[in-house]
Structure 1
Amino acid sequence: MHRMLTGERPTGPLHIGHLFGSVENRVRLQREGVETLLVVADYQVITDRDDTGDIAANVREVVLDYLAAGIDPAAATIFTHSAVPALHQLMLPFLSLVSVAELDRNPTVKAERAASGRAMSGLLLTYPVHQAADILFCHADVVPVGRDQQPHLELTRTIARRFNQRYGDTFVEPVGLLSDAPVVLGTDGRKMSKSRGNGIELRATADETVRLVRSARTDSDRHLTYDPVGRPEVANLLLLASLCTGEGPEQIAERLDGSGALKALVGDALVAHLAPLRARRRELAAEPGLVASLVAEGNARANELADATLRDVRARMGMDYASI
């Protein structure tokens, strides 16, 4: 059986970009029998900010979004970074296997540093190693990644390979599962992001969804065409309509006249598509103690895996002192 590790930083509730870009694919893989671990990476919130915000509330919102989208709590391990000490202890030997130059030239770290607009913290510099610990502590062999995350995964593979060469076969080199899922643009025409405030949250009401779609950026050409390169904002709305209805974006463009009609269609299609998810989310949110119980169970399972891996790592490094 394959084992998959993926997750999010709890900086706010999930939006439709998460749903179409990754969460629906995770649900599909889980239903196909892939063992699923989802890390709510609370420690990573402070890589590029001083204030964690209401992180407990954000963790709750993310878990509710997972469950409402179809993640099976009976089969998935949902855990928080900060509750698994052995995972973070793995960073120490892993850091010895990479150079500062390798970390400094990681393109994802560079992009995140530029986006933060502040000096790079030590945690951000070592973020790829932290992510390697996330993946290797549970011996995940499948990691869903976007193309911008491939350098992180390649460093994880490098760390696994170097550890094995130095101390003996311990870790499998995980394989990246590149998704064909789309990049969903936000209402301002940039990639949908929690930090940019340009998303349509999964928990939003129908009225909020319609209002946000109406505010989405388009262009002045009334004739609709599906041109992701030349007309990205219009193409994004056509893609959203397609994802919700199953009709091709080119066909939708041919039968509609102007961006007003397109926005009306997208708003209605999103409301209909998300209605079952949102109804399920309301039911889950009304169950007292549900999220806390699931996270506690997930943390216990993650600690079992991490403790076992750390014991193995220490033994292979000659740091098992029980018999001295």
Structure 2
Amino acid sequence: MTSLTTPTPSTMSSGTPSASPPVPPTSSGETASVAAARARTAGLEAEIARDPGRFRVLTGDRPTGALHLGHLLGTLDNRVRLQRAGVEVVLVVADYQVITDRDDAGDLPGTVREVVLDYLAAGIDPDRSTVFTHSAVPALNQLLLPFLSLVTVAELERNPTVKAEAADAARRQGRGMSGLLFTYPVHQAADILFCHGNLVPVGQDQLPHLEATRTVARRFNQRFAAARPYFPEPEALLTSAPVVLGNDGAKMSKSRGNALELRATDDDTAAFVRLAKTDSQRHITFEPEARPEVANLLTLGAHFAGTTPGLLAEQVGAAGAGRLKQVVTEALVEGLRPLRARRRELAADGPAVVADVLARGNARANAVADRTLADVRALLGTVYA
């Protein structure tokens, strides 16, 4: 069972990571920071292969709905890969973050249950990885207060993800940005640093958030632990997963209603693929830039059929979009069958399965968060007895 023993600063400060899918080559329009993260990821993967026990990954999801195919290819498969490689994986079900941009959290207990079932069905092992909820770990959230003193309002305003999410909330709901959303990068820093996480799998659009965490860690160490740095500056493990499109041609998203949930039935899967956008060209080719919707179906089909999108395109060829959708449907149904069978078995055992996973994970996370907060208070000089 995962002990979640907090590593000492000396063992966490220079961390790095198991062999994963190759990182895509640098594009000509790539920023220097993305190019550097991409280059560093190759080295991290080699280090994971040599010594996975050096690494603790913190990642997670907002429980705004059951997880879908985009989550599986984008994050879940990679988390399971790292877990199996021997990396310690810590997963936060970020229930507090549900209310960053909405007034109604919906059936939060039910949604959390669905997310945890998706984790387990995808291969997350609660004996090897830690699954916990934000709201159950008070000491983690208390770290937000001293961490907020380490960043400026201007730095938060410049965060591109905060700006994008605020604009989206205003467009969809006609509301201003909440204070919780505005401080989200610092709350994420608390998520990562409470357990001394030193490795965070991210897409390139999430790099500014991770840089905010690195800034918080660096400034805390400079101000309060200069002699012996306390927090690691976590590194980005840049993911190579494709962006998965929904059946409307936009990025797959719970909020857009264009997603194929992992818990969906075979009939749901067939309906999802049947409605998926393609284009007017009959001959099927894999051209991600020119034919993104067709390329998306080829990518999905190839992933679950154990081939490449290019070879799958050659297989379908002049048979057209109808044949492509038939091939992709068969690949998805068969490829997801084991996951869905495991999920049904777990769900049949009722709420007790999820309750047990969260009880154990919350206990582990609380033990570490309490120690970290005690250390932070000592470093701040706020221990009075």
Q: Could you state the TM-score of these two structures normalised by the residue count of structure 1?
A: 0.98
Could you tell me which of 208, 213, 217 is aligned with 1:151?
208
Q: Deviation per CA, 1:53-96, whole angstroms, max 9, x where unpaired?
A: 00100000000000000011111110000111111110011000
Cα distance in 2 between the residues matched to 1:144 and 1:99 = 26
Structure 2, unaligned stretches of length 5 or more? 1-52
Q: Secondary structure at the match of 1:183?
A: coil
Residue of 180, 190, 201 corresponding to 1:133: 190
CA distance in 1, matches of 2:249, 2:166: 21
Matches of 1:159 and 1:274 in 2, distance apart? 40
- Could you tell me which of 62, 78, 82 is aligned with 1:9? 62
Alignment-derived partner of residue 193 in structure 1: 253
Question: Residue by residue, what CA displacement relative to the aligned partner does 1:146-203 show, whole Å, maximum 9, x if unpaired?
Answer: 1111100000000000000000111000011111111101111111111111110000
1:229 aligns with 2:292: no
Q: Secondary structure at the match of 2:201?
A: strand
**How far 1:255 sits from its partner (Å)?**
2.3
Matched, 1:178 2:246: no
Once residues 267 and 201 of structure 2 are traced to their aligned partners in structure 1, the CA distance between those partners, rounded to angstroms, is 33
For 1:319, the aligned partner's letter is T
Alignment of 1:321 onto 2:384 = yes
**Map 1:13-162 → 2, pairs under 5 A:** 13-116=66-169, 117=171, 118-162=175-219
- Which amino acid in the other structure matches residue 280 of structure 1? R
Q: Distance in 2 between matches of 1:95 and 1:44?
A: 17
- Find the counterpart in structure 1 of residue 366 from structure 2: 303
CA distance in structure 2 between the partners assigned to 1:53 and 1:258 by the alignment: 42
2:329 is matched with: 267
Residue aligning to 1:258? 320
Instruction: Pick the aligned partner of 1:238 from 298, 307, 328.
Output: 298
Structure 1: segments with no counterpart, 5+ residues: none
Give the secondary structure class of the aligned counterpart of 1:261. Answer: helix
Distance 2:128 2:309 in 1: 35
For 2:315 and 2:76, the matched residues in 1 are separated by 30
Q: How far apart, CA to CA, are the structure 2 residues paired with 1:254 and 1:75?
A: 41
The whole-number CA distance in structure 2 between the counterparts of 1:235 and 1:110 is 30
Secondary structure, in 3 states, of the residue corresponding to 1:218? coil
Secondary structure, aligned partner of 1:176: strand
Separation of aligned partners in 2, 1:249 and 1:5: 31
TM-score (norm 2): 0.83
Separation (CA, whole Å) in 1 of partners of 2:210 and 2:147: 14
What's the offset of the Cα at 1:250? 1.3
- The alignment covers a number of residue pairs equal to 322
> 2:274 matched to 1:214?
yes
Structure 2: distance between partners of 1:223 and 1:111: 38
Counterparts of 1:119 and 1:224, CA distance in 2: 45
